[in-house]
């Protein structure tokens, strides 16, 4: 299988005043198409920075990052926005749905920025909502949905552009255990259907869902290979 | 993201904060409605003045004694006698002297008390010649104007203005009845139509017109001086030629150079200009105040848009994460600000138009509704929205998605 994500020697340094903080110190990651990968690490490990670079929300200070065959290491903001739109489906801890829009319009939002026509947007958004089992909630606003349902809507939004990878940042962080299991079940289904999923978490039990676990600590990554090896700290 | 989608998004944002949007628009609403009203008032006043001046007649030159000096002042005639006489008027009527002059009407004007039965009314006595009716473009409601014969003989006849007639003869037709002025009894031979001027206090409808010979006899004066000579040019095209001829003829008749001229000639345009210059100053002043309130309104829009950007950092972050380019975000906020501006403008124009319809009945001043002013006001409202939206919009566009998403 070809590598969807190929990072080599990625460094990220934040300059705060006189002190330079090195959040990533030469990270190499390869993720193949259809893989379900968890990235686990305690807070302050560089986990968020890695997620931002993986998600093209930020660019590395040094090193190369190629996503779906394209080097995205030093693109302009407008080009990165396009890459995010086409290649990445985000799922956030806070769901980040727009409260004034219906579930359907929330799901269709990335298609608006992709320049898809209205009728086609609605059709694809309905398909995505159906995929997460919320076709009957299309006209509800986020406030009228449970947390688990909101996160399902967010997953539908991540799916709607048919991205190369779904990037989930602590997707169960705000959910009770039943909803968490529900959402993780959905990810598993998507993985079985051939989706590439990158899940960022600090919980071992969540990471255990993935086929491969990468541990990040002090800005460096190590491969556990098998989940059973566990994570220290 | 196309423009229609952006407009829809902006519309949703404006609607979801209804009260705030309304308060934001308020400054622009007030500014635009006051611009529409002040411009309307100014134009209304100008129309009123023009109506009054048009009602004097058409293609008129108004010759008055005394002169306009270079600095714009007016030098009076010597002593109490006017420098303009009946002879001057007769000279101007001479086709050889002034070929472009159609008619000439000399006028004397004094104030006097008229009595009809037990009713007293103080009015303006106008002594003139038979040409007055045509020169001043007046028509008669009833009866007739005096004849050349009556003029020559100084007959005791009078033609009353519409208001004067109503005051003296509240019942029945005044024609054939008599009025007493300074001990002389005059027969009313006609009543004038109203002058057509929109003015409510126009003295053009409160006068008593009689042969100039009769007027001189009543005042007991032997002077042949007149207070005004109305000169009608043959057409609008020959008005300036007539002006030159009248000027030359009077200079020659008085034996003075143009620097020493003891008379002044005004055209209707000149009168209009003088009357309007005061109006214009007031209109500019008021419009200036309205413009300042518009500026304040625009700053209000900017203020709220900045607050809105800060408040919606997460939304901006999310939109960016989902693929909104900086320019898409900039456009979204710019359109939102413009929408506030235009909505404020539309409401302001509506209030201004309603005010222009309602106000005249309350303040007794005509207010015109001017389409160009409304179009300009809407343009300004849009411009304000765009102008004051630029800074908040670029602030939003510059936010990095990480910072925006992180804010919790």
**CA B310, B311, B316: angle at the middle one, nearest 5?**
75
Partners of residue B317 in chain A, C-beta under 8 Å: 96
User: Which of A86, A94, A113 has its CB closest to that of B328?
Assistant: A113
Q: Which of A56, A52, A61, A64 is nearest to A8 (CA)?
A: A64
The reported pLDDT for the residue numbered B68 is 47
Subunit contact A94:B325, Cβ cutoff 8 A? no
* Beta strands at B207-211 and B119-128: parallel, antiparallel or unpaired: parallel
Architecture category of domain A3-229 in CATH:
3-Layer(aba) Sandwich (3.40)
The answer to whether A153 and A96 have CB atoms below 8 angstroms apart is: no
Per residue in A40-78, pLDDT tens? 988 888 888 999 999 999 889 999 999 988 999 888 889
Kindly provide the ipTM of the predicted complex, given to two decimals: 0.90
Q: Which token pair is B288?
A: 């200036």
Q: What is the spatial order of strands in the sheet that A36-40 belongs to? A: A88-91, A165-169, A197-201, A36-40, A212-217, A220-223
What does the pLDDT read at residue B343? 92
Distance of alpha carbon B212 from alpha carbon B226, whole angstroms: 9
Question: φ, ψ for residue A212 (rounded to 5)?
Answer: -145, 140
Residue ranges for chain A with pLDDT beneath 50:
225-233
Query: Cα(B41)–Cα(B43) distance, rounded to whole angstroms?
Result: 6
- What are the structural domain ranges in chain A? 3-229
pLDDT value, residue A123: 95
Residues of chain B found within 8 Å of residue A101, distances taken between Cβ atoms: 12
pLDDT in the model for residue B344: 92
Distance from the A23 Cα atom to the nearest Cα atom in chain B, whole angstroms:
15
pLDDT string in tens for chain B (408-residue length): 677 888 888 888 888 888 888 888 888 899 899 888 888 888 888 888 887 777 777 788 888 887 544 444 454 444 434 678 888 888 888 888 888 888 899 998 888 899 988 888 888 889 999 999 888 888 888 889 999 899 888 889 999 998 888 888 887 788 888 999 888 899 999 999 887 654 444 567 888 999 998 988 888 777 778 888 899 888 888 888 888 888 888 888 888 888 888 888 888 888 778 777 877 888 788 878 888 888 888 888 888 889 888 888 889 999 999 999 999 999 999 999 999 999 999 999 999 999 888 888 888 778 888 888 888 888 988 998 899 999 999 999 988 888 777 755
Calpha distance B67→A126 (Å, rounded) = 88
pLDDT of residue B225: 83
Q: CA of A84 to nearest chain B CA: how many angstroms apart?
A: 5
Distance CA B405, CA B383 (A): 32
CB contact under 8 A, B325 and A96: no
Q: What are phi and psi of A224, to 5 degrees?
A: -80, -25
Do B289 and B23 contact (CB within 8 A), yes or no?
A: no
Maximal CA-CA distance, chain A: 55
SS3 call for B155: coil
The C-alpha atoms of residue A136 and residue A119 are separated, in whole angstroms, by 19
Give which of B14, B311, B323 to mutate to test A binding, by max A Cβ within 10 Å: B323
Closest CB to B323 among A84, A98, A101: A84
What angle, 0 to 180 degrees and rounded to 10, lies between the N-to-C axes of helices A147-159 and A177-192? 20
């Amino acid at each position: 299988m070809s590598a969807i994500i190929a990072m080599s020697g990625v460094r990220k340094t934040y300059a705060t005043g006189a002190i330079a903080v090195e959040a990533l110190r030469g990270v190499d990651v390869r993720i193949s198409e259809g893989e379900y990968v968890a990235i686990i690490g305690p807070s302050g490990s560089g986990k968020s920075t890695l997620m931002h670079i993986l998600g093209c929300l930020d660019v590395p200070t040094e090193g190369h990052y190629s996503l779906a065959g394209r080097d995205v290491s030093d693109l302009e903001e407008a080009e990165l926005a396009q890459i995010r739109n086409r290649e990445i489906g985000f799922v956030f801890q806070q769901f980040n749905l727009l409260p004034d829009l219906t579930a359907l319009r929330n799901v269709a939002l990335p298609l608006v920025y992709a320049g898809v026509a209205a009728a086609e947007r609605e059709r694809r958004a309905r398909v995505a909502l159906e995929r997460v089992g919320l076709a009957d909630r299309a006209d509800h606003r986020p406030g009228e949905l449970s947390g688990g349902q909101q996160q399902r809507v967010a997953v539908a939004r991540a799916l709607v552009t048919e991205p190369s990878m779904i990037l989930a940042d602590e997707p169960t962080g705000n959910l009770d255990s039943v909803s968490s299991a529900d959402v993780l079940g959905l990810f598993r289904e998507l993985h079985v259907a051939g989706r590439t999923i990158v899940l960022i978490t600090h919980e071992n039990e969540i990471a255990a869902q993935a086929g491969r676990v990468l541990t990040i600590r002090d800005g460096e990554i190590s491969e556990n290979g098998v989940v059973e090896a566990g994570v220290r700290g | 993201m196309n423009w229609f989608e952006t407009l829809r998004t902006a519309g949703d944002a404006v609607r979801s904060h209804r009260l705030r949007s309304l308060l934001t628009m308020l400054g622009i609403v007030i500014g635009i409605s006051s611009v529409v009203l002040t411009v309307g008032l100014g134009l209304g006043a100008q129309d009123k003045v023009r109506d009054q001046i048009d009602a004097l007649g058409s293609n008129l030159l108004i010759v008055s004694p005394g002169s306009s000096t270079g600095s714009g002042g007016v030098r009076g005639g010597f002593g109490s006698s006017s420098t303009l006489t009946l002879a001057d008027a007769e000279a101007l009527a001479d086709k050889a002297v002034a070929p472009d002059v159609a008619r000439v009407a000399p006028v004397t004007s004094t104030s006097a008390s008229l009595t009809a039965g037990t009713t007293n009314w103080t009015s303006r006595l106008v002594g003139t010649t038979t040409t007055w009716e045509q020169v001043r473009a007046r028509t008669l409601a009833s009866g007739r104007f005096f004849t050349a014969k009556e003029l020559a003989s100084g007959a005791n006849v009078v033609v009353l203005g519409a208001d004067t007639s109503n005051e003296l003869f509240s019942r029945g037709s005044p024609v054939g009845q008599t009025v007493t002025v300074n001990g002389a009894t005059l027969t009313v031979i006609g009543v004038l139509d109203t002058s057509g001027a929109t003015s409510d206090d126009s003295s053009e409808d409160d006068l008593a017109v009689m042969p100039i010979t009769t007027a001189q006899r009543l005042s007991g004066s032997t002077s042949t001086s007149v207070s005004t000579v109305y000169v009608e040019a043959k057409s609008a095209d020959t008005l300036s030629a007539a002006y030159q001829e009248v000027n030359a003829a009077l200079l020659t008749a008085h034996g003075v150079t143009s620097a020493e001229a003891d008379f002044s000639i005004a055209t209707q345009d000149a009168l209009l200009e003088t009357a309007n210059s005061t109006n214009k100053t007031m209109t500019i002043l008021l419009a200036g105040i309205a413009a300042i309130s518009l500026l304040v309104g625009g700053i209000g829009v900017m203020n709220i848009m900045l607050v809105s950007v800060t408040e919606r950092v997460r939304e901006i972050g999310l939109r960016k994460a989902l693929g909104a380019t900086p320019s898409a975000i900039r456009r979204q906020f710019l359109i939102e600000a413009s929408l506030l501006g235009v909505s404020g403008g539309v409401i302001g124009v509506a209030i201004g138009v309603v005010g222009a319809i309602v106000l005249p009945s309350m303040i007794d001043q005509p207010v015109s509704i001017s389409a160009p002013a409304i179009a300009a006001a809407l343009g300004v409202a849009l411009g304000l929205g765009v102008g004051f939206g630029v800074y908040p919009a670029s602030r939003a566009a510059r936010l990095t998605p990480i910072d925006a998403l992180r804010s919790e």
